[in-house]
Amino acid sequence: MKRIKIEETDSWQKPIISISNNGTATKGNRYIVGGTPTDEFSGFITDSIVTYDGTAWLEDVPESGWVVYDLNQDLLLIFESNIWKNAITAAASVDTSNFNNNLSSADDTVQKALETIDDLTIGSGGGESGSGVNFDTVATPQDLDGLAQNTGDWAYVTNIAKHVVRLGSSWRQVGNLLILNTGAGNLYGEQAHYDASAISGLLDGEAVTTWDDLSGSGYNMTAVSTGAIYKTGIVNGYPVVRFSASSAHVMRIAAKAFANGTSDLLTVVVVIKAASNHTGGIISTRPSLTGFSLRYSSTTNLNYYHTSNGAAGNIAVTDQFNVVWFRRSAANAVVAGVNDTTNILSVAPTGFTASTDTWTQIGTESDGSALLNADMAELFIFESAPNDTVLGGIITDLKTKYAIT
């Protein structure tokens, strides 16, 4: 293989025209080779950079940390973990295996959308009966053109292992774990999203008096007293909100008692690390046997409760962060889980009774008992019951973000 001497030691590379399976042999033209090289690029390695010197194509295999500007996508790319990624977010990989030279203009729009972080997320409820939203699985991005093109529809693209959502005239890849809000209301009922990394203006160790809802619903969390504690760089470089079994740290979503109807659907997903030897409430609307709660019932066990009975969900490892979750898909049908472990509750809660409170409490049971001793990085609340594919996508993305094994 002939190396490009002037480029081979430089991490910052000259711009490329595009990612492509074939190119135009004009002196100075540069490309990243796509997943199925053909014609001019036959025999070249996918993801390598090729340059035409006026006589022949010269190929250079990138090294980790190389950065190049893609003129076609108007995007700065970085080569990490053997793939090209969006260098700005370092989160959205450019999957060159899906590029080919037979894309129509519409397909090209789909491709560009799929390779861009767009501050959207896996929402909830895609595919539920009666949601008015379609959920489909397709093999490749090109197959999206065969689907109905309705805003809000979801699809899962198997060969890139990504969820996409239809917005306006294009399909968009899910990214950054922000909940989808169309500006005309959420597609899947009421929801809320809290991310410690979105808290601004605080130094390490300062009190969190307000934790803003990122979903657009406006359900900001406020301190009942002085507030939980903001701690930086705790989990995979991200900050957390620390609850230290103190009444001063309790937070409240004052404007909303979530899922307070007897048939309301509810899903909660939280990234959390419990301190050892404690019990405590994570989220609750449950004073005097009304409403619901998710709490640690012992050092290692989680309980979901409503009315007078609950059940141990799954064993939570106390010395690491976990994605803890539950989904209530009918009045008394509840599944709880930790990371990828899922169990139907051994004792099914019965007879849901609406809470007598008008708020949702974070860091304790709703009546102020069972104070939480844990670090919380991110929290999602949906008044819906996302199917296994969508819920699994949320869990997987959170595990990746926080390096949870």
| pLDDT mean for each 10 residues of the chain (405 residues) | 46 79 90 90 92 92 84 78 70 35 32 33 30 63 74 68 61 42 38 88 94 84 95 94 94 91 87 82 85 81 75 69 87 81 70 86 86 94 77 81 90
Output the CA–CA distances (angstroms, integers) from residue 336 to 32, 98, 171, 177, in the order listed. 45, 36, 32, 21
pLDDT at 402: 92
Residue 158: exposure state from Cβ atoms within 10 A (0-12, 13-18, ≥19): exposed
173: three-class secondary structure by DSSP: strand
Checking DSSP bridges between strand 322-330 and strand 301-306, what pairing results, if any? unpaired
Q: Which residue from 125, 133, 128, 136 is spatially nearest to 152, judged by alpha carbons?
A: 133
191-386 is classed in which CATH architecture? Sandwich (2.60)
State the residue for tokens 């250079």. 60
Q: Supply the pTM of this predicted model.
A: 0.58
Q: Where are the domains of the chain?
A: 18-102, 113-173, 191-386
pLDDT at 35: 83
